[in-house]
Amino acid sequence: MNWTPPEKPNDLCESRIIQAILFGQFPPNDHLPAERELAVQLGVTRPTLREALQRLARDGWIDIQHGKPTRVRNYLQEGNLAVLAAIAQHDEHLPQDFVSNLLTIRHLLAPAYTRLAVLNDPQRIFRMLERCFNISDTALDYAIIDWSLHHTLTVASANPVFTLILNGFHSLYIEMGKRYFTNHEARAYSQDFYQRLYQCALNNDPPAAETLCREVMQRSLHFWQLLEEGGIS
């Protein structure tokens, strides 16, 4: 049996404060309660709270200044990549248009790492795409394999920054993918993408792979926006 270790008090404390910020209980430029009061509300010791607050300050959620109340930062303007990853892990309180904005970034990045992947390691792509051709026709399986493909492409690009960025959104990618791939057209379109990308790698044609990926990412973004608006189901 695999036992899940209990969450550490400072981790739990940090997560609850992030949830409160995202939910609007502590809006940007508001102040957190005094340390003693907040520790009581969270049911933790002050040293535990203090450690969590220091981590939140480091990542851009709050601003701590000696002798002044702790200010909640405007995290979308003052935060960093750690804030981005934390938002992705709290998908029950995502900011408006967060997924669409994330897909816009993927639309900008994916063509670049796909071109580099075909240039640097087409054999790795062949092996990955062969898995894509033999999956069950379910939303979950497509979400998982699509994540795995993009992860493989970032690794094959030989630029680890692409992989680190993508890894920050693993859980959210799977959850949103399960919704996206409930639509048969989305699954069929992705399968077509896998086939065409295989040919680009087979022909050792990085520019064609880049152009293909840009086309597919643009269509995926448009498709997701239609889902959000209720235009398709």
CATH 1.20.120.530 in the chain, residue ranges: 96-229
pLDDT of residue 202: 93
Q: Tell me where in the chain the CATH 1.10.10.10 domain(s) lie.
A: 9-89
pLDDT digits (tens, 9 = 90+) for 9-39: 888 899 999 999 998 999 999 999 999 999 9
CATH 1.20.120.530 assigned to 96-229: yes
pTM of the entire predicted model: 0.80
Second CATH level (architecture) for the domain 9-89 = Orthogonal Bundle (1.10)
- Residues 197-218: pLDDT tens digits? 999 999 999 999 999 999 999 9
Write the DSSP assignment of 39-75 as a string of letters.
HHHHT--HHHHHHHHHHHHHHTSEE--TTSPPEEP-H
pLDDT for 123-135, tens place per residue? 999 999 999 998 9
Q: What percent of the chain has pLDDT over 70?
A: 95
Report how far apart, in Å, the C-alpha atoms of 197 and of each of 19, 97, 211 are. 40, 29, 10
